[in-house]
Structure 1
């Protein structure tokens, strides 16, 4: 087995911080969109915050995690300038790349038993690029709604164009909600694919996000992308 160093320490730290932020954002977002327990009802405002979970507390956690997600995205794109292995989300505009997408799709649908060996297969590269764009959309819509609490403030000025473009506050909220479910759907598929690949190929797919290393039987097609 060939030992190939793939994920830098910066990328690995970002991955787990990002996973925690997305988890907090989704769980708190579910409550913000549809409160399902009474919270501080029946208590005076002076005592409510210290005794029970409140909407104020959950909104604070939600937006704090939103800031972490924003800073994390900026950091993720920053580190991509310094190492080829941290740019594996960029598609390659050439014929064999698009054929590789089709090959991987057939493989994941259990139609094709094998596929060329990749460090980051073409289908995954396209999906990850779409996920980054999706997270950017979530940041823009989230902070656009956050900015409405302080008209004329920083976020209102930066993202004020988002809400009119999406058809108003309600539709912005709905788009934010729908896309959040798409993110979670991706997370579920991502976890499944990683476990499946590790079980079938024994390549260290799971441990690689801790150690940065994968083990492959031969040099992958895209080995030059991690050097």
Structure 2
């Protein structure tokens, strides 16, 4: 790899950055309200007791309304993400090229860096490393399934409605309402675990490399000491 001066690369478009933060706020809202819907809780003996919750506006109806609104926002943002990926090269979904040797070498390198066996700066530079290319499509798939199962359950409250007609088959396909609920619940936790790891890895990379990994989702730019081998994917 040819050594060059540090290069500032424009990676994230305004649309992708807006989508990222809308997704972040929406998923947090869905997760918290979803926990309440699955297992209603109140503030305990030092706060609002369940007996007085209705007076304080803490009702299941209110929480469900927030959850459903956030669900519609997540659906809209998912559709928006698909649309911008079709028209902007920087916004394309980058999938793992598992048939290529450099993908497996990249996956080995990034794994060794994450466990502090290989030093940062060694090996190749990537706009999107092999780990990200592997995990992100799975996260998009998980979000898609969350949307589908969520609206399938939503349709149960109004038989014959649009969502009931469109996604009602999912209930039978997954083995009934209970199993649809469980898949929805399990995937929610997987997405939250991913989010926690994602935040850790972003902060870790910023701390070790000072490459704009953290600020790039505000500015759109990252800095590379070497020319990324996959730079053609965003330029």
TM-score by length of 1: 0.93
- CA-atom RMSD in angstroms: 1.8
108-117 vs 162-171, which moves further: 108-117
1:41, distance to aligned residue in structure 2 (A): 5.2
Q: Per the alignment, do residues 222 and 88 of structure 1 end up closer, same or farther by CA in structure 2, a change over 3 Å counting?
A: farther
**Paired residues for 1:15-164 under 5 Å:** 15-37=20-42, 42=51, 48=54, 51-92=56-97, 93-113=99-119, 114-164=122-172
User: Which residue in 2 is equivalent to 1:216?
Assistant: 224
Unaligned runs of 5+ in 1: none
The alignment partner of 1:111 has SS state of: coil
TM-score by length of 2: 0.89
Q: Per the alignment, do residues 87 and 33 of structure 1 end up closer, same or farther by CA in structure 2, a change over 3 Å counting?
A: same
The alignment partner of 2:87 has SS state of: coil
Q: State whether residues 143 and 159 of structure 1, in contact with CA within 8 Å, keep that contact through their aligned partners in structure 2.
A: yes
Q: State whether residues 112 and 118 of structure 2, in contact with CA within 8 Å, keep that contact through their aligned partners in structure 1.
A: yes
Runs of 4+ in 1 over 4 A off after TM superposition: 38-43
Instruction: Give the whole-Å Cα distance in 2 for the aligned partners of 1:132 and 1:98.
Output: 22
Unaligned runs of 5+ in 2: 1-5
User: Which residue in 1 is equivalent to 2:8?
Assistant: 3
The alignment partner of 1:204 has SS state of: coil
1:100, distance to aligned residue in structure 2 (A): 1.4
The alignment partner of 1:4 has SS state of: strand
Q: State whether residues 205 and 213 of structure 2, in contact with CA within 8 Å, keep that contact through their aligned partners in structure 1.
A: yes
